[in-house]
Structure 1
Amino acid sequence: MLLPVLLCFLLLALALHSRSSKGSRGQLPPGPTPLPWLGNLLQLGPSSLDKRLMELSRRFGSVFTVHLGPQPFVVLSGASTLREALLLQADTFSGRGAMASLERCTQGKGIAFSNGHRWHTLRTFTVGALKKLGIGSRSIAQRIQEEAAALIQELSLTKGAPFNPLYHIRNAVANVICSVVFGERYAYDDPDFRILLDLLNDNFQILSSQWGQMYNMFPSILDWIPGPHHRIFRNFKKLQAFIYDEIKKHEESRQPGQNFIDFFLDQMEKDKQDLSSHFCMDTLVMTTHNLFFGGTETTSTTIHYGLLILLKYPDVTEKIQEEIDTVVGRERLPCLQDRDSLPYTNAVIHEIQRFISVLPMGLPHILTQDTHFHGHCLLKGTTILPLLISAHRDPIHFKDPENFNPNNFLDDKGAFQNNDAFMPFALGKRICLGAGLARMEIFLFLTTILQRFTLSTVKSPQEIDLSPKSTGLGNVSPPYELRLKVR
């Protein structure tokens, strides 16, 4: 339904926009020839954009231009190219490119989609506040352990019946970031919180669908076309109202330094006479939403997808459980200190993240200044698309890039070995602020589940399809049901 309706509007628009979008942007790297305004849309097709871009990289090289609608993007493909740009020229590539859907929601006021002085100020403040609240320390690891114990208790209530574990996982992951941002957790049977988590997930799924991709390419057209993309903005307003209500509660009874909202309110109080301050209510709401959304959806998707992969490969699951039984036993919960003693488990968890590439195309960047890169003169303001999945499928760095294989992170002696091409949280100045927290959560939640339960499903492993439900902003895990039996 989407493509025929959209093409009608696009053909109408072509009559009004016959001019190509090149011209004022200087010399861009080579790429497929775009049509006026449509860009390369017809060549790329409506789905699996990440795979099509990887095919183009084999033809045009590791740096090429593609037009997504009228907007040109310089695509960076391959691990070495991504590292060269995002690490060696970190400042130059540190701008955040616009995504029409999220720009309409945040208006550039949160930390994820701000730029310039505002971004530098918010980033410095947020990193400091999160560090004071224990992110990256043993205290937050203990908090995750406590939530893992609560999750196990909830999962036990399924009593071996088939169920989709997505909500349980989302609630557990959300509770960790909520304890940091709001200073509280929410019960698994809290109906209001369940609605909020459903709103978050609905937005992630729409943004990862064809509707979400098309909106980001043609917002002025899609604003007039009925479709699920309009729910993004309705959902966001409801989430915004929830966050605003939470902030008001903190304003009335806050204790300085107890959670992120309190830290931000303290800074707002200090800067109340400064009319140019970035610490205001709108920015607090948007930054809180960024932390809430970013700290919930990608991590819960990774764990949910990871359990499906383990159902597909029961021999891998069995080997993990044997390692956990030997190193940890069953008398205590796994802890972060166990990670170095669980090389196979650690390798599987890294391979899950590599294989699914939860944000396959990352988030767009823009250049903060002119630069020479791979023989091309790229101008300030050029939009960059870091094709993160290309690093995870790079045959130079991984032994078996197209298939799930934990040996990608093991040496010949069975010891865990990291890999420079592993970049699920992006790289450089725009690396996910919650990367350390996400690593802890994925490890502790998965090992705790596997320590306590045997996984099974109504399907045979051979019948399980690991293809994502949809691909856009993220790779969305397909729906499934599993059974849990206490070991």
Structure 2
Amino acid sequence: MITGIATILLVLLLLLLLALARHGRGVPGGLPPGPKPLPLLGNLLQLESGRMDRALMELSARWGPVFTVWLGPRPAVVLCGYAALRDALVLQADTFSGRGAMPVFERFTRGNGIVCSNGPRWHKLRNFAIGALREFGLGRRSIEERILEEATCLLGEFRATKGAPLDPRRLLDNAVSNVICSVVFGNRYGYEDAEFMRLLDLFLDNFHIMSSRWGEMYNLFPSLMDWLPGPHHQLFRNFTELQGFISEQIQRHRETRQSGEPRDFIDCFLDQMDKEQDHPDTHFLEETLVMTTHNLFFGGTETTSTTLRYGLLILLKHPEVAGKVQAELDEVVGRTRTPSLADRQHLPYTNAVLHEIQRFISVLPLGLPRAVTRDTHLQGYSLPKGTFVIPLLASAHRDISQFKDPERFNPNNFLDEGRFQSKDAFMPFAPGKRMCLGAGLARSEIFLFFTTILQRFRLCPVGSLAGIDLTPQCTGLGNVPPNFQLRLLER
């Protein structure tokens, strides 16, 4: 019986003869060179499923830090290494601020929301969202209080396990998601709430599918994949269900809100819709609110939760590192009060470990694609307006010129004679104008959740240390950690 992937490849190969007649092409004028593409397939066979970031870094060893690959019929310029990423995303931030089209998102968002929009719509929505999120605590002490309240609930759930083996995924998802829920929806959900658990399962399922070969294939050949069977169709069923949930939340807000007295992000957006209801070119429409809310909710949940989960696995593998963090916490914070963000500057080793976790896992290894907003030059090559760009963020974290022994987990990458030292090559949230809106929130959550857990619990493996494998389940949109269990014993 032919598998789904085999069916896809068979259909593609059957189309190869037609493609040969159409694709006798080289690299478009001015674009950097790269490996020779096959007709229709492009460089697909060189981009091994489950390790696309590594495959691109291997190609960079031959073709340099800026090179072209073909994603099926579409050319993409890859930025590999800290210097290339800095030259483009930082030094030419405006020029590289466009969002490259990803069919898996385009079909759902139709270019709406913050993540996938471009031009005036993106500028307007981003500026509005930054202001609204600040109003409800991001960047202020109030968001720290919300995180710590949720951390207290999480510790209670951990304590209730009484040291029994636990898969921490769902509880971490719940805790992280509740923080952004309080800002966007104005409330948190109980950890046993069936509707909330279903919502988190939908986000996780989509993150897994988009990080799999099926998600990759859909972005390469959307028209073909639309009529081929496979799990990629579940993406859009999940998106529809998520859209329904968000629409229900918006309707509840409409029924209970007081105009001009916003309680959360949705109320703020509805107020702006009222102000601009007579503007023919307004970007504040209900479908935009649905997509923007989805972007904030997904961005504020999945990547942070994945970082926490992967971080716990790394600390299980390296108990000596966890022990040093706990010793530092005991000395600086003690065990009678909860850690706070103000403690960060006094916890150099802890800070270094948390940065090293993020560097080592590179939770979004390829970054989200960019598009060049105007004709430009980069490292001697001409990139015309609209060029699709892959900012290979994981390559900055693996850059031997920036980090000592980058393939190994080593907190000393962020320590200088015992003092914490961050680095420009540390890019977990993508630099430049497209930096994640929730980057500050994510940093606060990662610090506060990790420190409160390690202050109160010892992390104990289920099985031997040698049996702990840090290899991702798959690597695509994200680095998905392997499933694991641990035991949390009170200190």
Partner residue of 1:99 out of 93, 99, 102: 102
1:217 corresponds to which residue? 220
Unaligned runs of 5+ residues in structure 1 are none
Given candidates 156, 171, 174, the residue that maps to 2:177 is 174
- Give the match for residue 33 of structure 1: 36
8 A Cα contact 1:79 1:391, kept in partner: yes
Q: What is the CA–CA distance in structure 2 between the aligned matches of 1:59 and 1:147, rounded to whole Å?
A: 48
User: Any residues of structure 2 matched to 1:336-351 within 5 Å, and which?
Assistant: 336-351=341-356
Matched, 1:160 2:166: no
Q: Does 1:435 align with 2:436?
A: no
* 2:48 alignment partner, one of 28, 45, 49: 45
* Counterpart position of 1:457: 461
Does the Cα contact within 8 Å between 2:27 and 2:33 map onto a contact in 1?
A: no
**Aligned counterparts of 2:169 and 2:10: Cα–Cα separation in 1:** 38
Q: How does 1:241-256 map to 2 (within 5 A)?
A: 241-255=244-258, 256=261
TM-score by length of 2: 0.97
> Is 1:193 the counterpart of 2:196 in the alignment?
yes
Shift of 1:16: 3.0
CA contact (8 A) 1:2 1:211 kept: no
In the TM superposition, residue 459 of structure 1 has moved relative to its aligned partner by 1.9
Deviation digits for residues 280-309 of structure 1 (CA, Å, limit 9, x no counterpart): 000000000000001000000000000000
3-state SS of paired residue (1:429):
coil
Query: How far 1:246 sits from its partner (Å)?
Result: 0.3
**Aligned counterpart in structure 1 of residue 359 of structure 2, from 354, 360, 366:** 354
Q: Letter of the aligned partner of 2:14 in structure 1?
A: L
Give the 3-state SS of the residue equivalent to 1:442 in structure 2: helix
Following superposition, the deviation at residue 27 of structure 1 comes to: 2.5
Contact kept, 8 Å, 1:453 with 1:484, in 2: the verdict is yes
5+ residue gaps, structure 2: none
Partner of 2:316: 311
Q: 1:475 corresponds to which residue?
A: 479
Q: Which amino acid in 1 is paired with 2:267?
A: D
Secondary structure of the 1:258 match is: coil
Partners of 1:314 and 1:436 in 2: CA distance:
28
TM-superposition CA deviations, 1:103-124 (whole Å, max 9, x none):
1111111100000110011011
Amino acid at match of 2:484: Y
Residues 107, 258 of structure 1: alpha-carbon distance in 2 compared, 3 angstrom cutoff: same
Partners of 2:66 and 2:77 within 8 A in 1: yes
Give the conservation status (yes or no) of the 8 Å contact 1:129–1:260. yes
- Aligned equivalent of 2:452: 448
Encode CA deviations 1:29-80: one digit per residue, 9 max, x unaligned. 0000001110011122333110010001111100000011111100001111
Q: In 1, Cα distance between the equivalents of 2:446 and 2:459?
A: 17
What whole-Å deviation, never above 9, does each CA across 1:320-375 have from its counterpart, x for those lacking one? 01111111111111111111111101100000000000000001101000001110
Which residue does the alignment assign to 2:235?
Answer: 232
For residues 25 and 288 of structure 1, the distance between their equivalents in structure 2, rounded to whole angstroms, comes to 38
CA distance in 2, matches of 1:68, 1:2: 20
1:78 to 75, 78, 81: 81
Residue 103 of structure 1 aligns to which amino acid in structure 2? E
Deviation at 1:21, TM superposition (A): 8.1
Q: Distance in 1 between matches of 2:301 and 2:311?
A: 15
The Cα of 1:427 is off from its aligned counterpart by: 0.7
**1:241-390 equivalent positions in 2, closer than 5 A:** 241-255=244-258, 256-390=261-395
- 1:46 and 1:138 map into 2 onto residues whose CA distance is 43
Is 1:5 aligned to residue 7 of structure 2?
A: yes
> What's the C-alpha RMSD, in Å, of the aligned pairs?
1.1
Q: Is the 8 A contact 2:109 2:116 kept in 1?
A: yes
What TM-score does the superposition give when structure 1 sets the normalisation length?
Answer: 0.98
For residue 404 of structure 1, give the secondary structure of its aligned residue in structure 2. Answer: coil
Moved more, 425-434 or 18-27: 18-27
AA paired with 1:446?
F
Aligned AA (2:337): R
Which secondary structure state, in structure 1, belongs to the residue aligned with residue 206 of structure 2?
helix
**Alignment-mate amino acid for residue 264 of structure 1:** F
1:125-164 mapped onto 2 (5 Å cutoff): 125-164=128-167
State the aligned residue count: 486
Q: Say which is worse superposed, 1-10 or 304-313, in terms of deviation.
A: 1-10
Q: Please give the alpha-carbon distance, in whole angstroms, between the structure 1 residues aligned to 2:24 and 2:480.
A: 32
